[in-house]
Amino acid sequence: MHSLIQLSIVVLLLPLLSFVILIFFNRRLPRRGDFVGVGILGTAFAISAYIFWTVIVQTYDPAFRVAWDFTWIDLGKVPGIGHLQIKMGIVIDNLTAIMLAMVTLISLLVHLYSTGYMAGDKNYGRYFAFLGIFTFSMLGIVLSDNLFSIYIFWELVGLSSYLLIGFFFEKDSAADAQKKAFLANRVGDIGMWLGILILYSQFHTFSFEQIYANLAAGKFAMSNAWLTAAGLLLFMGCVGKSAQFPLHIWLPDAMEGPTPVSALIHAATMVAAGVYFVARIFVLLTPDALHVIAFIGAFTAFMAATIAITQNDIKRVLAYSTVSQLGYMVLGLGVGAYSAALFHLVTHAFFKACLFLGSGAIIHAMHHEQDMRWMGGLRRHMPWTFATFTLATLALAGLPLTSGFMSKDAILAGAIGFANVEGGGIYYLIPVLGFFSAMLTAFYMGRQIWLVFFGESRTHLKPADNHHHGLDAHSAHDDHHDDHEVHEVSWNMRAPLVILAVLSVFIVYSPNPLDGAEGWFMKMIKTPATVVGPANHNCTALHAETPSPLMAEAFPAVETHGATDAHAVTGGEHAAATGEHAFADPRQAEIAHAAHAAHFPAIYISSIMVVFGISLAGIVFVFRIIDPDKTAEAIRPLYLFSLNKWYWDEIYQSTFIKGSVLLSKILSWFDTNVIDGIVNGVAVLVRNLAFANNSFDKYVVDGLVNFTAFSVNTTGAVLRKLQTGKVQTYVALLLVVLFGYFVFYFTRLIY
Amino acid sequence: MFELPSGAEIQSIIATLNANIGFFIPEIYLSLLFMLLIVIDLVAKGRKNNLLSISTLIGLAGSIFFIYQQHHLPAGEIFFGMYVLDEFALFFKYFFVLAGMLAVVITMADEQFESEVKSMGEYYALIIAMVIGMIMMASSADLMMIFLSMELVSFSAFILTGYFKRNPRSSEAALKYLVYGAVSSGLMVYGFSLIYGLTAQTNLISISSEFSIHGYDPLLMILATLLILAGFGYKIGAVPFHFWAPDVYEGAPTPITAYLSVASKAAGFALLMRFFYIAVPHGGPVYEDILGINWVSLLILLSVASMIYGNVVALWQKNVKRLLAYSSIAHAGYILLGIIVMDAFGTQATLFYLLSYFLMNFGAFYVVILIANKTGSENLEDYRGLGKQMPLAGAALTVFLISLVGLPPTIGFIGKLMIFSALLAKGSIYLWLALIGIMTSVISLYYYMLIPLNMYLRESPGSEEKSMNPGLIANIIMAVMMFLTIYFGLFFQPLSDFAKYSSPMFGLKLN
Amino acid sequence: MQHLIPIGLNHYLTISAFLLAFGLFAVMTRKNAIVVLMGVELILNAANINFLAFSKYNGGIGGVMFSLFVIVIAAAEAAIALAIVINIFKIFKSVDISSVDTMKE
Amino acid sequence: MLSLIVFLPILAGLVILAVPSSQKQIIRIVSLLAALAQGVLAVLIWRAYDPSLPGITASPGGSPLGSFQFVEKLPWISLKLGGFGSLNIEYFLGVDGISVTMVILTALISAIGVLSSWTIQKQVKGYFILYNLLASAMMGCFVALDFFLFYVFWELMLLPMYFLIGIWGGPNREYAAIKFFLYTLFGSVFMLLVMIGLYFSVIDPVTGNHTFSLVAMANQANYIKSAILGPDNVMWRFIAFAVLFVGFAIKVPMFPFHTWLPDAHVEAPTPISVILAGVLLKLGTYGMMRINFPLFPEVFHASMYVIGIFGAINIIYGAFCALAQQDLKKMVAYSSISHMGYVLLGLAAGNSEGMVGALYQMFNHGTITAMLFLLVGVIYDRAHTRQIDKFGGLSSYMPVYAAIVTVAWFASLGLPGLSGFISEAFVFVGAFSSVTTRYIAMVSVLGIVFGAAYLLWSLQRMFLGKRKPDAAYDLEVGADGHEHIHFHDWKGKIDLDARELTMLVPLVVITIFLGIYPMPILGMITTSVNRLVEVLTPLAIR
């Protein structure tokens, strides 16, 4: 077993250890054992930093990969399949190493930050326990080498997010939010699960390696549509977890959780897991599937951005911006800008975590005031927060010299290239939406900055009625600052802000502030060779297998793609020139090439957009050349549409939720009244019958049993009338019967 | 017109009588016992019930010894074909003697006799008379013997039914029983006369040989068979000849009810099997064309009607005795199923079922008597909460009822199992009969479970926790019967082997 | 006198059939218990006539024997029946058989 | 050994019979000891069991008795029947992978049931006698390899159950009890006919006589071709299969034969609900795996699709009905209808994954649902109501209880890391892999969401938020300034007390452990299931 594997196992298990310790003993430990959590996470981060160092810095190899697995379940010799084993395992490659470091780092910082933010909460210890189990499951997703264990950790992440969102479970809104989050994720997970089932039913294995090998070897027996379906169904998992349309509704509500949690789970790591998962399964996504993914991503990015404009809750703005940014990443993957998307994942993780922690600091300082309308002028009171928050904002908006600029830019370039290659007018919608959202992003982030930090404090303007907001949640730990003086937060909350802000600067990732492609990241993370699509010759060549019928079916004639091939060659050359690796798949090569070509246009457009957005925000909210309220009045329908989040919640509420509750009521009525009394009417009849006055028919209220019971009962009631009690009647009956028999047999005799 | 027999013939007749007397010892012994009991009653005048009952018990027990002796004797006809001695007959001899003993036992337990009658004088004697009569029914080979023995049983039964002279129900039951019984036996005799007219024979075997040699007029045959069936049907209490049963069973003293419902029913079955297996031509296409009456189909009608009618009407009963009466009608139906199969397995199943019915029905009636002693009532409502007050009785009654339903691990289940096995062993022709049997036994669960339901699930109106202990001996007897019901339900080999051993008639086996 | 048909088996059988019918009729319709019992006797005697006629016309002494026993049985039956009827009269103060129906259904 | 584990409770019952009914504690302790001894035996069996032997039926070349373990085979009844050879009934016990897990489950659940019966105050003696009788009968059903013996045990369960529900049950107990009795009896009487029919159709290869031995019956080579249930008699075989299936499906309970279950559960006392859901329901599916399918493989193969559809209906229908319930216990009852649907679906798949999943689901559902009913009982003891909206915010006041409820609820909705997930996952894997049930599986997956829906909803309504104005308890501020709740006329501990913990903690541990490392159970199952799948696959396909 490779030493890195051993280390990664340690990293994986440490947070679990912290969970176990804290969940059972937090009340016995001093300070409710928060130091346990922080310490353990510190260790974990140290180890994963070492792993990062070894993998990325020392062995500077794009193709680095070590794996290890063990038999988890052994089904023995299964008839028709042979010896069947379900394996669990760990794989470490560049992506894993980066994710490990990122997750543990942010988790560590959030732990540290929480020691300040959550101080005095009555479930303080339990909070850190939950953080522990979350980190554990997140790392599990990162390290898994097969679909099954990813699904397991996927659900566990869902669980920990459920627990943390509902941490203030006494708030009904929190309880609603946690349920909503879990269910929305479950819906996504169904799809993911079905996708897994499709693949398993073909290959009887869950491991990525074997599935890809089989796919490349063309062992996929079902039609190509099933393969696309499998891809899209797996993507549904991402839709749920990464809050893509149409399952995005849960993420904003998830802000009911403590703010550090929002930073860790609902901004940096968990929601990114969806993107990470799509990256893992990237190679089996058919072009059709990728198109769908690209469009969903673009639409999500745009929709969320439009909503974010009008939100007043500081955290909700950030939440929608998160959704929007996730949309970017998905878009990036969809258009095939693989490394760019993952790059954005990492950068976004840092600056968005910074933003959330910053907003947490603000909320903390404002005594749990979350409404930006009643803030303002905070830059004087909290300089550190102001500085870091602004830097992160610039990164998010994507101004040059920030990390966000490089990554987002790479994605947009990819989008343009994609549109060029696909050559369809409709495909240009994707980059257009992308750029427009970039502008919107700049606008609403600018708005936030202006509203929160500039101008004069507007606390006094706040109407008294909705002042209880959030107080009930933190009633316990409000006591230590009863003076309503806004002041900077303590060091343990400041340090994380600084670290994260530093990590949002371009130099960390790339020497050239304008081109992330020259950075170590995009050098280390290369678009993997697809195992479906037109790559078949190469793959089959690689695996020395016969060409698969499937691929032929998918892409009937490669000759028709002559141009494509030509492009591919040139693309390949160019790639060689720019130090990129040769693509196995002409289509991917083509897109990459076009993307590279579109690099500078993208830069120009996006920079212009961003600057325009920010200045517009300034114009509106600072110099008030345009009065926002008047504008809102002028375009009231649009304004309301955005303010009410496109009414998605209402739509779902009135269709799915109401629908299923109604259906359940109907079915249960059906159960009690129809199934359980198929002949209820008959039963009533029986009760009303004159001779039914005995204890037996009390039992005559039940389904088919009823029916027999009823018939039996009435026949009995009729028959017993024969027993008149007069012996002469008996004799008469006897003779009648005899005569009847006689006639019967007599007729049988003569006929 | 008939010439007198010569001296030599008379000599030979006497010789035969002397020779055959040895085959007749148990009957003679019982007749002596009968007289002895009357003498005892005359000598020890007064209310010495125990003296009489104990001596009856001992006497009956003694008779078992003589019956046992007969195993060594060769099977065959005696007294000029009037009478027969075979395993079949022996089985019923044991059966009736044991039934008589049980009747005596539960009579001793019944306190109603204390209040109703002054002296038990002829009571036990009449029970003995019934035993004799039924034994002769089981072993008579001649129409005349059949008639005589049946009447002997009936007359004793009439008197015993009306034994509670001052009790209107008892007397009414006796009257109904009498009229109905007289009419049906009258019809039966008329049928006999027709058979006699057809064959000029009264011995069963010679009748059947006459039929098989000369054939017969189907119309008269139909008439005769139907009329005779009326007589037998009345004895076994099968629908549509059952009308007397509910009233008589309800009105008669409970021990007599139990005795009638088990023993005289069994006697009826013995007769039925002997007559229809031996005398009336059956089976085989030989008769189908000329017969015009397939008596098996006749019995099928009877059995189906009994199963359905008995179980269905029982649902409505509030009086436990009457409920058991209807259940006994239903059980007649089940037993008929075994006869319909008409092979050795079927006979075995029938005999076994009779044994199981013997055990569980007597048990049920015994408990009913004990409860009636304490509560003075036989109505379902008055059984409420008894489960707590007399736990053992409750448990025992539940076991007996479960056995009557036919659930394992009780003997009743084995009985049903064997009957249905006998049906299914014939392939799928009788499957529908088995289905009806199954369905009706499910129905029967309703009303049987009404009793435990009242005993356990409902609280007694006067909810004082007074325990009514029926006494040590009664408890022991109940416990033993309960144990046997379950024991034979698990290890039924001896009983069923005995039934198997006793299936052949006239020493000739069915296939 | 020769042209009178000689009495044959069928005549006897017809008479017995009529007796049977009358007996059953009496049993079913008469109110008085005594008359009902008479009906029973008629039934039995119908059987007797059959037995005797048959034994006359197709030989054998069995029929005669049978009829003798039937007569005896009938006598015994009558005795028991009368005892029961008297008892009924004591209790119900009447011998109306159709009024004796306290137990039913 | 098996005889011992089967008849221990009955022995305990006899001992109790001797104890005066005033000595309640002694009675309880006696039955507890019996149950514990049963548990010990079960553990011994578990340790000594050799998972490499398939069982099910005679393997080709193997002994005609099949490779069963702990076999006890005594001639019980051997009757000579006129013309039909002889009626042979054997006392034939033995376990294979299918039954051994159920044996362990039964031992576990009955022990827990005894503990939870501690609170029974009314007629303790009678209660425990019946309880022990029931325990024996259940155990017997799982180890009996002779159809006759199986049937005896099977019917033997009805009566104690009837009384346990009927005497110690809730207000509407008479109705529920008789309903249970009639439904199940209706199902089983027809089984009797099939049993007889099979008897006359099967020849024991060793003795050459007819036999009731399930091992011989499961081997199609032993059938007389022309017999009533012989291979030639296609129609009767089909009918027999259907009849058996209905008989078992009533126990499962399968839609539309399920209506007895909610009533029975709602009326039954807590321990009986635990037994009912934990073990009795399994008997239905166990009967299918042991008797119904192997004896009529070709009919099974023809009706897989139908069974699957019924499974799907169970899953979704049960979930929806549960969603609408106001009574917590009724909700749990419907949830077990839904979960037994997974078992049916897995069986319908007819491949190893599905069958393993189904069997494992039987085990897990046993433990998990037992937990659920125990928890319902806990709150019912305190508040004397089970109306979901009579509670609220409980987790602030009963943290331990809330924690365990959370674990149980999530186990029931199939959260990974808890045992329920693995079994459901395997059921789906199997059902999807088999072409027959693929689309059914795709529909049934919806059950996952609705399962989560009703469980989380009830969890929220009862434990989260704040006390409802019309809640079944009062709030009072204790000495330490914190709020406590106070149930009317409840003297005991507000949160779980020691006895309840001793019942619940083992189940929680088992649920978690088997969710992380299922092999201890799966390892015993797989060989037999693979063999079963072979037996079920018709020769044409095999």
Has residue A546 got a pLDDT over 50? no
Q: What is the pLDDT of residue B333?
A: 93
Contacts of B218 in chain A (CB under 8 A): 749
Q: What is the pLDDT of residue B61?
A: 93
pLDDT band at A679 (very low <50, low <70, confident <90, very high): very low
Classify A65 as helix, strand or coil: strand
CB of B233 closer than 8 Å to CB of B200? no
In a domain, D322, yes or no: yes
Has residue B376 got a pLDDT over 90? no
Contacts of D159 in chain B (CB under 8 A): 398, 402, 407
Residue D220: other Cβ atoms inside 10 A: 18
Classify D252 as helix, strand or coil: coil
Q: Which helix (H) or strand (E) holds D75?
A: strand D69-80
Cβ–Cβ of B420/D193 closer than 8 Å?
Answer: yes
Contacts of B398 in chain D (CB under 8 A): 159
Calculated CA dihedral for residues B101, B102, B105, B110, nearest 10 degrees: -140
Q: What is the pLDDT of residue A570?
A: 41
Has residue A545 got a pLDDT over 60? no
B-facing residues of C in 19-78 (CB < 8 A) are: 20, 23-24, 27, 33, 36-37, 40, 43-44, 46-47, 50-51, 53-56, 58-66, 69-70, 73, 76-77
- From the list A716, A730, A734, the residue facing B313 with the nearest CB is A716
Residue A555: other Cβ atoms inside 10 A: 18
Q: How crowded is the C-beta side of B52, counted as CA atoms within 13 Å? A: 28
In a domain, D259, yes or no: yes
pLDDT digit string, tens, across residues A559-607: 334 334 434 434 334 443 344 445 556 777 777 777 777 778 888 888 8
Q: How crowded is the C-beta side of B27, counted as CA atoms within 13 Å? A: 21
- From the list B219, B247, B443, the residue facing A725 with the nearest CB is B247
Q: What is the pLDDT of residue A472?
A: 42
CB of A180 closer than 8 Å to CB of A187? no
Q: Which domain does D400 fall in, by range?
A: 2-536
Poorest-pLDDT segment among A262-276, A728-742, B377-391, D79-93: D79-93
CA-to-CA distance for D236 and D239, rounded, in angstroms?
5
Contacts of B493 in chain D (CB under 8 A): 77-79
Has residue A612 got a pLDDT over 90? no
- Count helices and strands (H / E) in chain D: 23, 4
pLDDT band at A4 (very low <50, low <70, confident <90, very high): confident
Contacts of A728 in chain C (CB under 8 A): 27-29, 36, 97-98
Has residue B288 got a pLDDT over 50? no
Q: What is the mean pLDDT of chain A?
A: 78
CB of A503 closer than 8 Å to CB of A350? yes
In a domain, D193, yes or no: yes
Residues 6+ apart with CB under 8 A from A750: none
pLDDT band at D272 (very low <50, low <70, confident <90, very high): very high
What mean pLDDT do residues B434-446 have? 86
Q: What is the pLDDT of residue D81?
A: 65
Q: What is the pLDDT of residue D541?
A: 54
Q: What is the pLDDT of residue C20?
A: 93
What is the interface size between B and D, counted as CB pairs within 8 Å?
102
**CA A393, chain centre distance (Å):** 23
Contacts of B151 in chain C (CB under 8 A): 73, 76-77
DSSP per-residue codes, chain C:
-TTSPPP-HHHHHHHHHHHHHHHHHHHHH-SBHHHHHHHHHHHHHHHHHHHHHHHHHS--SHHHHHHHHHHHHHHHHHHHHHHHHHHHHHHHSS-BGGG--SS--
CB of A202 closer than 8 Å to CB of A275? no
pLDDT digit string, tens, across residues B245-267: 998 999 999 999 999 999 999 99
What mean pLDDT do residues B204-227 have? 82
Q: Which is more confidently placed, A119 or D423?
A: D423
pLDDT band at A477 (very low <50, low <70, confident <90, very high): very low
What mean pLDDT do residues D265-271 have? 91
Q: What is the mean pLDDT of chain B?
A: 86
Look up residue B395 and give its two tokens.
């448990």
Has residue B338 got a pLDDT over 50? yes
CA-to-CA distance for A150 and A142, rounded, in angstroms?
8
D-facing residues of A in 572-631 (CB < 8 A) are: none
In a domain, D541, yes or no: no
pLDDT band at B145 (very low <50, low <70, confident <90, very high): very high
pLDDT band at A374 (very low <50, low <70, confident <90, very high): confident
- From the list A73, A148, A699, the residue facing D518 with the nearest CB is A73
Poorest-pLDDT segment among A86-90, A370-374, A580-584, C78-82: A580-584
Poorest-pLDDT segment among A47-51, A262-266, B25-29, D464-468: D464-468
CB of B70 closer than 8 Å to CB of B90? yes
How many residues are listed for chain A in this entry? 751
Q: What is the largest CA-CA distance in chain A?
A: 121
pLDDT digit string, tens, across residues D148-207: 999 999 999 988 999 999 888 888 888 888 888 878 888 888 888 899 889 888 888 887
Chain A residue with the nearest C-alpha to that of D424: A193
Residue A465: other Cβ atoms inside 10 A: 6
Which residue type is seen at D330? K
What mean pLDDT do residues B30-52 have? 82
Chain A residue with the nearest C-alpha to that of B380: A695
- From the list B344, B438, B441, the residue facing D82 with the nearest CB is B344
Chain C residue with the nearest C-alpha to that of B145: C66
Classify D480 as helix, strand or coil: coil
Please choose, from the candidates D526, D336, D344, the residue with its C-alpha nearest in 3D space to the C-alpha of residue D437: D344
Residue A54: other Cβ atoms inside 10 A: 16
Has residue A699 got a pLDDT over 60? no
D91 pairs with which residues across the strands? D74
Cβ-based burial of B282 (10 A; exposed 0-12, middle 13-18, buried ≥19): middle
Which residue type is seen at D542? R
Q: What is the pLDDT of residue B240?
A: 84
pLDDT digit string, tens, across residues B343-357: 888 888 999 999 999
Q: What is the pLDDT of residue A558?
A: 37
In D413-494, alpha helices (H): 419-433, 438-444, 446-463
What mean pLDDT do residues D272-278 have? 92
Q: Which is more confidently placed, B123 or B118?
A: B123
pLDDT band at A484 (very low <50, low <70, confident <90, very high): low
Q: What is the mean pLDDT of chain D?
A: 87
In B278-410, alpha helices (H): 285-291, 295-314, 320-341, 344-375, 386-389, 391-405
Q: Which is more confidently placed, A651 or D71?
A: D71
What is the architecture of the domain spanning C9-92? Orthogonal Bundle (1.10)
Residue listed under structure tokens 């669990």: A88
pLDDT tens over chain C, length 105 residues:
567 777 888 889 999 999 999 999 999 888 888 999 999 999 999 999 999 999 888 767 888 989 999 999 999 999 999 999 999 998 888 888 888 878 776
CA distance D291 to chain B (A): 19
Q: What is the pLDDT of residue A568?
A: 41
Has residue A168 got a pLDDT over 50? yes
Has residue B462 got a pLDDT over 70? no
Domain ranges of chain C: 9-92
Q: What is the pLDDT of residue A541?
A: 37
Q: What is the pLDDT of residue D82?
A: 58
- From the list C24, C100, C101, the residue facing A735 with the nearest CB is C24
Instruction: Assess B290–A contact: CB distance below 8 Å, yes or no.
Output: no
Please choose, from the candidates A571, A567, A372, A379, the residue with its C-alpha nearest in 3D space to the C-alpha of residue A469: A372
Instruction: Assess B196–C contact: CB distance below 8 Å, yes or no.
Output: yes
Cβ–Cβ of D159/B446 closer than 8 Å?
Answer: no
Instruction: Assess A743–B contact: CB distance below 8 Å, yes or no.
Output: no
A89 pairs with which residues across the strands? A69
- From the list A84, A197, A665, the residue facing D428 with the nearest CB is A197
The pTM score is: 0.87
Residues 6+ apart with CB under 8 A from D88: D75, D77, D78, D79, D204, D207, D209, D210, D211, D212
Domain ranges of chain B: 294-511
